[in-house]
Amino acid sequence: MYAMKFKSRIMKGTSGNVRSNMFIYKLAAEGASESAVVMMEDGDAGKYNRGNRSLYHFLENGTPMILGIVLNSIVYPRPVFFLFIFYCIGRIGYTIGYTNKGYGGHALGFMCDRFAYLIMMGMHLLIAIKAF
């Protein structure tokens, strides 16, 4: 997990239960008596937060891809294999880009991810159309 690289920089081994936190927060308006709480975006804490967010993005978007692999590989085994490799490369690029650069840094990985995902969903549609 790419975020773990930054976790050790902000949470030491003696931090106790604090190490179980998935995100680091701060007050949006420093010094105000009332303020919204937002995730930190700067420094290693920001990289840690973005790394964990990219993991959650994968969990949200990965399930349809897994189903696509299982269902489409029966009809299109070789294209599905190459799409899966391309999807994995895209997700790795997404995670590294988003973690290190923030919003916008993930664009190339996101495009690879979406390309593979949409082709996979198109295969679903094509199989369904041919089945009827």
CA distance 89 to 115: 12
Q: What does the domain layout of the chain look like in residue ranges? A: 4-131
> What does pTM read for this prediction?
0.71
CA distance 80 to 70: 9
CA distance 26 to 48: 14
pLDDT of residue 57: 81
Phi then psi dihedrals of residue 31, to 5 deg: 85, -5
> Which pLDDT tens digit goes with each residue over 67-122?
889 989 999 999 999 999 999 999 889 888 888 888 888 889 989 999 999 999 99
Please tell me whether residue 24 adopts helix, strand or coil conformation.
Answer: coil
β-bridge mates for residue 25, sequence order:
39
> Which pLDDT tens digit goes with each residue over 19-55?
556 666 666 677 766 667 667 777 777 788 788 788 8
pLDDT of residue 81: 94
Q: Which residue, 34, 56, 26, 43, is CA-closest to 102?
A: 43
Residue 16 confidence (pLDDT) above 60: no
CA distance 34 to 57: 30
Kindly indicate the confidence band of residue 18, based on its pLDDT and cuts at 50, 70 and 90: low
